[in-house]
Amino acid sequence: MKKNLIREKLERGEAVIGTMIQELRSPAVPILLANAGYDFVFFDMEHGAHNMETIADLIKTARSCGIVPFVRVPDLQYHLISRCMDAGAQGFMVPRIETREQAEAAVRYSKYPPMGERGCSINKGHNDYKGGDLLTFLKEANRENFVILQIERKAAMEDLDNILSVEGVDGAILGPNDMAASYGVPNDLKGEFMTGIFQKVMETGDKYGVHTGMHIANLEVLKDWKTRGMKLLAYNTDIGFINAGAALGIKELK
């Protein structure tokens, strides 16, 4: 099975940088992002418009050009996770995690026995359509696949230790906008309240060996938290990149 380069870099203490694709469906997009130097890409099935066939094709391209493919699944359901993993995603992120039981289910749905309950089909996209020894494959897949929880609700903060201490959870990514909304506070990303939230997630992740980060379009905030120690950094989306590039050009030309 293909090595997960994100896992290897994080275990060496390096920060990894990715982005999120919500609208674009051309197989050129993962190649362009790899050429730009991104380490990973999230294909967004929560807010994005892609179906499973499109996601599977984008994953294949990402695997072939050296950028690690992750999927943000729309919900915590077995078939939504397992099909993306079978297609070759090297990890996934589950949104709206609030309880330890949900974290345990995310691990269980994505890991093969004895760690979980995922059904096995070896010669799929996750193994580049090759066969192999069953037990070797199961062991490698359980080691390489990357489980990320999206921490974006007040309820998650109230049970954070229980959530991030679940065996098999590899990463936790903050959703700042949803977090602020769940508390009913302004999304003041540099304010004392939100800073305290971010700090608590990072410190709790460190306690349990879970890599932490956030997904945000605000470059200055992301750089600040990289300096503070966050390592799993997702910057902007395809929509954000197009809007920014288009606005810059038209501003100069007019």
Catalytic member of 47, 79, 126, 211: 47
Which residue bears the tokens 């494959």?
A: 137
**Residue 61 burial class via C-beta count within 10 angstroms: exposed 0-12, middle 13-18, buried 19 and up:** middle
Three-state secondary structure string covering the chain: CCCCHHHHHHHCCCCEEEEEECCCCCCHHHHHHHHHCCCEEEEECCCCCCCHHHHHHHHHHHHHHCCEEEEECCCCCHHHHHHHHHHCCCEEEECCCCCHHHHHHHHHHHCCCCCCCCCCCCCCHHHCCCCCCHHHHHHHHHHHCEEEEEECCHHHHHCHHHHHCCCCCCEEEECHHHHHHHHCCCCCCCCHHHHHHHHHHHHHHHHHCCEEEEEECCHHHHHHHHHHCCCEEEEEEHHHHHHHHHHHHHHHHC
Question: Is 47 considered catalytic here?
Answer: yes
Which residues form the catalytic set? 47
